[in-house]
Amino acid sequence: MSAHDRSGFGSSEARLKPEEFRLLRDLFCSRIGVHFSLESRFIVERRLRERLGALGLTTFAEYYQYLRFAPGAPAEWDEAIDLVTTNETYFCREDYQLRSFKNELLPMLVEQTKPRGGHLSIWSAGCSTGEEVYSIAMLVQQSNLFRPENVRIYGSDVSRRCIAAARKGVYGASSFRAIDPMLRDRFFIQRADGVHVDPLLKSMCHFGQHNLLDADKARLLGRADVVFCRNVLIYFDAHARKRAIDVFHERLHAGGVLLLGHSESLLNVSTAFELLHLKEDLAYRKPKGFGRADSPRE
Ligand SMILES: C[S@@+](CC[C@H](N)C(=O)[O-])C[C@H]1O[C@@H](n2cnc3c(N)ncnc32)[C@H](O)[C@@H]1O
């Protein structure tokens, strides 16, 4: 049997022991904030097992050591993160919130962005393969409230594979499961290799690989008028959730708005935002007075 065969055999048989699971779970949590419950041991085992084969390792303890100390660890982190993160998404997800964004928040932002020349900046944090980013762009376009060249929508995700797919902007049927057919007809082009995002929409959208726990890198993004972070923090532990929320608070303009997923809230996480009651949703606003002379933090 060749060395390659042996590693393949070892990887397919490797079991993730409870103590190895705890080590890997803590390592992932401190790196990207995602917390695996005890019940997810077998999912983690199944998802990461192929990496043992690819690296010629036979146990998950060796894989843990590899992620911590091997010269190839940075590239391996990209592989591992692609495998363990949950990237489910589709166009116009949580449409009641997007309606509030279009009908209530965008008109409010017209006034708010006037002193900055009408430039609108939106950050979709944890955007997966980009459907959320392009959905936001469609609504901004539909509203006719901002000139396309004044709009910058930045989508970020920790998964390198997701960001590559988002930049490509070519989608299959499951991404369109909840979209209004009129939006699909207006903003997409059918080609032989799939359904492409319209170039004008694409010109408003930018993407980057970014770990939400990396506050220093977030500072390079500039400030945003709106941050969408939907269906991301549910996977985080309490400490990581707080770190990410602090980053959003810092990156928002005073008066800027944070939108979370329907099962997420700032309860027990932060008191730095005020509640903004919209017709169909609840949003979080960085207080308008934040940053004036009476506030030493900005
Ligand atoms: C379920 S998807 C949500 C996608 C989109 N926001 C939506 O609601 O449809 C969660 C995304 O969060 C990303 N994610 C997890 N941890 C992250 C981190 N530390 N930094 C940035 N993105 C992260 C995952 O890679 C995944 O693509």
The closest of 288, 267, 140 to 200, measured between CA atoms, is 140
Q: What's the pLDDT score for residue 91?
A: 98
On whether the CB atoms of residues 284 and 252 are closer than 8 A, the answer is no
Mutating to test ligand 1, I would choose from 158, 207, 213 the residue with most ligand atoms within 8 A of its C-beta, which is 158
Centre of ligand 1 from the C-alpha of residue 157, in Å = 6
Over its C-alpha atoms, the chain yields an Rg (Å, rounded) of: 21
**pTM given for the model:** 0.94
Compute, in angstroms, the gap from residue 291 CA to the centroid of ligand 1.
30
Measured CA to CA, the distance from residue 133 to residue 147 in angstroms comes to 17
Other CB atoms within 10 A of residue 154 CB? 20
> Which amino acid is residue 221, in one-letter code?
L
- For ligand 1, atom 26: residue with the closest CA: 87
Q: What is the pLDDT of residues 20-53, one digit of tens each?
A: 999 999 999 999 999 999 999 999 999 999 999 9
Given CATH 3.40.50.150, say whether it is the number of domain 95-285. Answer: yes
Q: What is the pLDDT of residues 147-186, one digit of tens each?
A: 999 999 999 999 999 999 999 999 999 999 999 999 999 9
**Reading across the β-sheet that carries 188-191, which strands appear in turn?**
170-171, 194-197, 188-191
Ligand 1 binding residues, C-beta < 6 A: 32-34, 85-89, 93, 126-128, 132, 157-159, 162, 211-213, 230-232, 235, 261
Six-digit token pair at 116?
Answer: 């900055």
User: What's the CA dihedral at 160, 186, 227, 237 to 10 degrees?
Assistant: -50
What confidence score (pLDDT) does residue 12 get?
61
Measured CA to CA in angstroms, residue 186 lies from 139, 150, 154, 200 at distances of 12, 21, 22, 11
Q: Domain map of the chain by residue range? A: 3-84, 95-285
State whether CATH 1.10.155 applies to domain 3-84. Answer: yes
> How many degrees, rounded to 5, is the angle at CA 89 between CA 121 and CA 171?
90
Query: Maximum CA pair distance of the chain?
Result: 73
> What is the number of the ligand 1 atom nearest to the C-alpha of 124?
6
Probe ligand 1: pick from 27, 47, 85, max atoms within 8 Å of CB? 85
Residue 294 CA to ligand 1 center (angstroms) comes to: 36
Between CA 100 and CA 103 the distance in angstroms is 5
What is the pLDDT, as a whole number, of residue 7? Answer: 41
Low-confidence ranges of the chain (pLDDT < 50): 1-11, 294-298
